[in-house]
Amino acid sequence: MKENIKECIRYIRGLTDFVPKVALILGSGLGNYGESIRVEVEIPYSDLPDFPVSTAPGHVGRFLMGYVDDVPVICMQGRLHYYEGYTMEQVQMPVRVMRGLGAEILFLSNAAGGIRPSFHPGDLVVIYDHISLFGVNPLIGPNDPEDGVRFPDMTKVYDRELCAILAKAAMQHDIYLQSGIYMQLTGPSFETPAEIRLCRALGADLVGMSTVPEAIVGRYLGMRVCAISLVSNLAAGISPAPLSSEEVEEAGREAAPLFTDVVTTAITMMKDL
């Protein structure tokens, strides 16, 4: 995998010497944020050597490199998921590539099912911790000491200063940003009501199918990590209606203006970190 990552970085460096500060990964239904970036370079995943492509609905599948205000960013317009059949090595490749290009901050977003009773579809929630007990840890395998330590500390995966910036950015737009614990299951099937009861008993406020491997790898590589969830639906057994991917994408479209305001203001505030 390491040689593949180096090849991808060499390919990108053959196109541009752009150095991003913030690496932004856009979740389901949130891909339109790419229109808010002053794009300098656009690179489809399919152009990169041996790089996986997005197959999930609503995930365009390209890197955008440019500016939010005057902050240099690299944006994944479409992420990779374990449920697509990719190995965990492949799922983490984008984070390693973006780190290799110089990104210092990893800003994750996703659409998630709301477990906490006070959550409603359309709410934005900053993730302050996660639970990942039922998937595959992305750091399994040989460890390169140049990347990080064999047993990285995960006490504070989500940077407290960055979380505070997200809250402050939301306040500037009169948006109430809640906070919660995110649990990742593998998908692609939505959870059963019994599984949601288990998630709730374990302390989860949100449930989804992404984000945690990227957060773990980012932290391992020394990046400062933050994450925001859009509650796209109430989780199974809480919602009276069947769940669908169309519902997730529609929630993203409806929340796009609020999401854009918060993310743009937050990234601008990260300039001097």
| Chain segment 69-125, per-residue pLDDT in tens | 999 999 999 888 899 899 999 999 999 999 999 999 999 999 899 999 899 888 999
How many CA atoms are closer than 13 Å to the CA of 16, on its beta-carbon side? 16
Residue with tokens 């505030």: 269
Domains of the chain: 2-269 (3.40.50.1580)
Determine the 3-state secondary structure of 34 from DSSP.
helix
Does residue 188 have a cis peptide bond before it, meaning omega lies within 30 degrees of 0? yes
Structure confidence by residue, pLDDT tens digits, 208-233: 999 999 999 999 999 999 999 999 88
What six digits make up the tokens of 9? 């970085």
Q: What pLDDT is stored for residue 211 in this prediction?
A: 95
Reading the block at residue 139, the tokens are: 């750091």
pLDDT score of 134: 76
Share of the chain above pLDDT 90, in %: 73
Task: Give the pLDDT confidence score for residue 59 in this predicted structure.
Answer: 62
Q: Using H for helix, E for strand and C for coil, what is the string for 69-101?
A: CCEEEEEEECCCCHHHCCCHHHHHHHHHHHHHC
pLDDT of residue 40: 95
Entry pTM: 0.94
Is the CB of residue 142 less than 8 Å from the CB of residue 251?
no
Q: In terms of Cα–Cα distance, which of 179, 212, 192 is closest to 91?
A: 212
CA dist 264 and 262 (Å) reads: 6
In this prediction, residue 22 carries a pLDDT of 98
State residue 164's pLDDT score: 97
Average pLDDT on 174-188 reads: 94
User: pLDDT tens-digit profile of 12-45?
Assistant: 999 999 999 999 999 876 778 888 899 999 999 9
Q: Name the residue among 14, 95, 73, 81 with its Cα closest to residue 53.
A: 81
Six token digits for residue 13 = 């460096």
Place of tokens 């991003």: 20
Give the ranges where the chain is alpha helix by DSSP (H): 2-15, 88-100, 160-172, 193-201, 212-220, 245-269
The angle subtended at Cα 69 by Cα 34 and Cα 211, nearest 5°, is: 45
